[in-house]
Copies of this chain bind each other. A is one copy, B any other.
Amino acid sequence: MKMSNLSWFAIILLLNQLSSASGGKILVFPLDGSHWVNMKVLIEELHAKGHQVTVVRTSDSWYISETSPVYTSVTIPYPGGFEDHFDVSLPQQLEIRLQSNPQSFWSRFWAQHQIDNMVIDQFFNFHKAASELIIQMFEDKNLMQSLHAAKYDVVLTDPGIGGGAMLARWLQIPLVNNVRWTIQGEAHFLLAPSPLAYIPFTATELTDKMTFLQRVKNFLSYNAGMYTLSMITEPNYKPIVKRYFGPDVDYSTFFLDADIWLMRNDFIFEFPRPTMPNIVYMGGFQCKPPKSLSDDLEKFVQSSGDHGVVIMTLGTLVGKLPQVVSEEIAAAFAQLPQKVIWRYMGQRPSNLGNNTLLVSWLPQNDLLGHPKTRVFVTHGGTNGVQEAIYHGVPVVGLPLFFDQPDNLSRVRAKGAAVIVDIAMLNRHIFAEALMAVLYNSTYREKMQMLSRLHRDQPMKPLDQAVFWIEYVMRHKGAPHLRSQSYKMSWFVYNSLDVIAVLLTAVLLATFICVSVLRFLWRIIFRREKVKHE
């Protein structure tokens, strides 16, 4: 019996040995809400590769469940409703936009101003909650002790808030960012040189080809954005950073600790721009081949014949559109010979065509991958746009909030989308946009080219992501990919101190030369004078 106990113990030891040899220990500090959807794709893949994943979550999280077959969780007791900050005022924002007069510049300007203020308030409250959550975590000595004792190999985080980065620095272990946004806007702006002459700042809807006035707009937007962001971060994070890491630490340096930045982005979608050695592009890593549709849906799709189908969904954030907008959209759809599948909640439009199927949920990826799908009408969320690119389906965009206008303006710049301003939407404008994308073949051709390019990579984006997470674990970080620029002030970074000193030296030398010449001149002149006298 004793012998058998010993063997059992030996087997457990061996299993531990094996599991630590094949897999590592990964601590995930995700961003709650829709970002979790992306992170979960990575976690599932890491689990499949034999790694042990632990996820930090809040007690009130709707998205991140406490138990899962692919991860264990650590719960921070935070009853503040962490994830709700963004959803609240969206219908209100939409209402303001719809009530503005799209023909009047001032009316639009005023509407945008009101919406901007709402968004800033949202962000402020969101980061206030985030900072409270971080304090909650750091103050829980038992939790921190157990995280330390668990000896994780790497922290994987979404740096929308800084909790994961702070945790990594506190635990002194490597850090990998799964990122598209940091608090400083699109992540590249924190990380890589971003000349404003051709890199459009977040939320400007500009492209990489700008007129002079657009460049002025971009320049002003960037500076206004940076100022606004400092108004949000300073009060919320400065006290935390001071409390746990000392007085001379800048909040943004935590993000820059990251060994690898896994960008949910690529240059099929993004405009070409400077990048850094520790950026890995994994845009569309969540995309996958379609599964077959349910029998009912397949039957409906097939009934479209050669005309094909139009898919429409505005994502999860907007429950329902104002009735007047829905009526116009329904009227436009009713004119089409295509069949339409519309994810719709709310009152059934009175003028709904026979060709239009309303559904409360649709299998987006499977429909986009269906050969009969002709156009995708979308609000322009990252996920939907990436799936449209992956499957090569051209887009009619109805951008509403956040990154949606920027996402769609990128696809439009590549010639694969038409964008309709929801404030200007009526049945004619919407029908015109649909017809253009349906019957002008260039949209489809451009999108299919993007799809071909997207699929033509040395390695699949998800495999890339996993490779680099494992790389950081294997080599205990990747400091050789992290540039020295992160440690410099903007003054030194731009060599302004060198230029100042050199200019001073030149001026000084000139001054001395001139002085000496004047001195000599005077001596000669005096002599002459003396002679003449």
Q: For this complex, into which size category does the number of interface residues on chain A fall?
A: 35 or more
* Chain B residues within an 8 Å CB radius of A494: 195, 197
Query: B274 to A219, Cβ gap below 8 A?
Result: no
Q: Of B277, B456, B495, which contacts A195 at CB under 8 A?
A: B495
Query: A484 to B198, Cβ gap below 8 A?
Result: yes
Contacts of A478-533 to chain B: CB distance below 8 A = 480-485, 488, 492-495, 497-499, 501-502
Task: Tell me the bound Cα distance from A414 to B465 in angstroms.
Answer: 27
Q: How far is the CB of A55 from chain B (nearest CB, A)?
A: 26
Q: How far is the CB of A204 from chain B (nearest CB, A)?
A: 14
Query: B197 to A492, Cβ gap below 8 A?
Result: yes
Query: B456 to A471, Cβ gap below 8 A?
Result: yes
Query: B219 to A481, Cβ gap below 8 A?
Result: no
Query: B275 to A484, Cβ gap below 8 A?
Result: no
Determine if A412 is an interface residue (Cβ-Cβ < 8 Å): no
Query: B498 to A215, Cβ gap below 8 A?
Result: yes
* Chain B residues within an 8 Å CB radius of A273: 277, 483
Residue of B whose beta carbon sits closest to that of A492:
B197
* Chain B residues within an 8 Å CB radius of A212: 497-498
Q: How far is the CB of A464 from chain B (nearest CB, A)?
A: 6
Q: How far is the CB of A281 from chain B (nearest CB, A)?
A: 8
Query: B502 to A475, Cβ gap below 8 A?
Result: no
Task: Tell me the bound Cα distance from A147 to B475 in angstroms.
Answer: 49
Q: How far is the CB of A390 from chain B (nearest CB, A)?
A: 16
Q: How far is the CB of A374 from chain B (nearest CB, A)?
A: 24
Query: A456 to B484, Cβ gap below 8 A?
Result: no
Give 1 or 0 for each of A128-140: 1 = CB within 8 Å of chain B CB. 0000000000000
Query: A483 to B193, Cβ gap below 8 A?
Result: no
Query: A484 to B267, Cβ gap below 8 A?
Result: no
* Chain B residues within an 8 Å CB radius of A195: 193, 485, 493-495
Task: Tell me the bound Cα distance from A267 to B280 in angstroms.
Answer: 14
Contacts of A195-210 to chain B: CB distance below 8 A = 195-198, 208-209
Determine if A293 is an interface residue (Cβ-Cβ < 8 Å): no
Residue of B whose beta carbon sits closest to that of A215:
B498
- Evaluate whether A495 and B196 lie within 8 angstroms (CB atoms) in the complex, with A209-B484, A459-B459, A475-B453 already known: yes
* Chain B residues within an 8 Å CB radius of A485: 195, 197-198
Residue of B whose beta carbon sits closest to that of A198:
B484
Query: A219 to B480, Cβ gap below 8 A?
Result: no
* Chain B residues within an 8 Å CB radius of A463: 458
Task: Tell me the bound Cα distance from A528 to B87 in angstroms.
Answer: 61
Query: A493 to B277, Cβ gap below 8 A?
Result: no
Query: A456 to B483, Cβ gap below 8 A?
Result: no
Determine if A322 is an interface residue (Cβ-Cβ < 8 Å): no
Residue of B whose beta carbon sits closest to that of A275:
B275
* Chain B residues within an 8 Å CB radius of A209: 484
* Chain B residues within an 8 Å CB radius of A484: 198, 208-209, 271-272
Contacts of A222-270 to chain B: CB distance below 8 A = 267-268
A interface residue numbers (CB < 8 A to B): 192-193, 195-198, 208-209, 212, 215-216, 219-220, 267-268, 271-278, 414, 452-453, 456, 458-459, 463-464, 467, 471, 474-475, 480-485, 488, 492-495, 497-499, 501-502
List 30 interface pairs A-B (beta carbons < 8 Å), by A numbering.
A195-B493, A195-B495, A196-B498, A197-B488, A197-B493, A197-B494, A197-B498, A198-B484, A198-B485, A208-B484, A209-B484, A212-B497, A215-B492, A215-B495, A216-B501, A219-B499, A220-B502, A267-B480, A267-B481, A272-B481, A272-B484, A274-B275, A275-B275, A275-B277, A453-B475, A453-B480, A456-B471, A458-B459, A458-B464, A459-B459
Known: A198-B484, A212-B497, A452-B475. 16 other contacts (CB 8 A): A193-B195, A197-B488, A197-B495, A208-B484, A212-B498, A215-B498, A219-B495, A219-B499, A219-B502, A220-B502, A267-B481, A272-B277, A274-B275, A274-B483, A275-B275, A456-B475
